[in-house]
Amino acid sequence: MNLTNYSEIQALLARHGFRFSKSLGQNFLIADWVPRQLAEAAEVDRDTGVLEIGPGLGCLTAQLSERAGKVLAIELDRTLRPVLAETLEGRENVELLFGDVLKQDIPALVAEHLAPLRPVVCANLPYNVTSPVLSALLHAGCFETVTVMVQREVAKRLCAEAGAPDYGAFGILVQWLSEPEILFEVPPSCFVPQPKVTSAIIRLRRRAVPPAPVRDEELLFRLVRAAFNQRRKTLPNALAAGLGVSRQQAETAVQNAGFDTRIRGESVDVVGFAKISDELSKILSADL
């Protein structure tokens, strides 16, 4: 059956008595070019093992299955089990797992279900959990690429550079761990039910090495979060408030990294944050 044909989908869902769940971010694709181009953008071939989050009715899963060595698809909504059993019947290289992707040990899952294939992620993400899912996928450190559909505003935030109004902590984390690229946009008319906003496909290519050497990556991530928690404050004030260091320590770190102490986090780029983090790390270890 055509998994993006609206009347076929309606008949399928009626047969299974399925109801859309808004809280699970269920906006299913009904335009066949989107799952096809999304699968193509993920650069999948027979040596690739794909992790898909939220297969829904299986339209993207089917496209991935045509191209990949294996697809592991994790779906939270167990009422989709009989639907997916029907729509993906006979696809030997698809494995379905029912559960919450946020509760999985992702590296263990990849080792158990996708090795020795080259692991990548491809998904139309549930919008309500985009940030925690992307964060978990990037921190897992095992995917060469993560190619996903997200809200266009989120996609822009992830690619925003220092000084841009939508530059923020999550974008810096993503840019630290990967090189993000917006590939194309998808209008609301391509989904049922229709979301209110435009979506975009984004590909995050894992960095082999970080943009700059850093002594303590954990400190860097905490520092960036602190900088944007109180983004109207000067950076030393925001760091003192958010990291539990003294204002003097924060000011010295910012100054030693080559910045004016009146600077705000929104105008410091990723490499600048790494320098400040290293200076603070030196100060903190000297004070021990």
Q: Which residues bind ligand SAM (CB under 6 A)?
A: 24-29, 53-56, 59-60, 74-77, 100-102, 124, 126, 129
Q: How far apart are CA 100 and CA 54, in angstroms?
A: 9
Calculate the alpha carbon distances from 69 to 111, 124, 263 in Å.
15, 20, 50
CB of 258 to ligand SAM, least distance (A): 42
Query: Which residue number, 123 or 177, has a Cβ lying nearer to ligand SAM?
Result: 123
**Of the two residues 114 and 240, which places its CB atom closer to ligand SAM in the complex?**
114
Return the number of the residue (76 or 154) whose C-beta is nearest ligand SAM.
76
Strand, helix or coil at 34?
Answer: helix
Q: What are phi and psi of 135, to 5 degrees?
A: -60, -45
Between 48 and 249, whose beta carbon lies closer to ligand SAM? Answer: 48
To ligand SAM, the closest distance from the beta carbon of 136 in angstroms equals 10
Distance in Å, CB of 13 to ligand SAM, minimum: 12
> Smallest distance from the beta carbon of 30 to ligand SAM, in angstroms?
8
In the bound complex, which residue of the shown chain has the CB atom lying closest to ligand SAM? 54
Residue 151 or 255: the one with the smaller Cβ distance to ligand SAM is 151
C-beta closer to ligand SAM: residue 102 or 164: 102
Handedness of CA 67, 72, 78, 82 (dihedral sign): positive
Taking the complex as a whole, the smallest distance from the CB of residue 99 to ligand SAM amounts, in Å, to 7
> CB of residue 93 vs ligand SAM: minimum separation in angstroms?
17
DSSP state of 287: T
Minimum Å gap between C-beta 236 and ligand SAM is: 38
Based on the number of CB atoms within 10 Å of its own CB, is 113 exposed (0-12), middle (13-18) or buried (19 or more)? middle
Name the one residue in this structure whose structure tokens are 């009715």: 57
Residues 274 and 148: their CA atoms lie apart, in Å, by 27
DSSP state of 267: G
Rounded to whole angstroms, the Cα distance separating 31 from 184 reads 14
The answer to whether 68 touches 47, Cβ cutoff 8 Å, is no
- Residue 67, φ and ψ in degrees, nearest 5: -110, -30
Nearer to ligand SAM, 147 or 175 (CB): 147
Q: Strand 70-75 and strand 48-53: pairing?
A: parallel
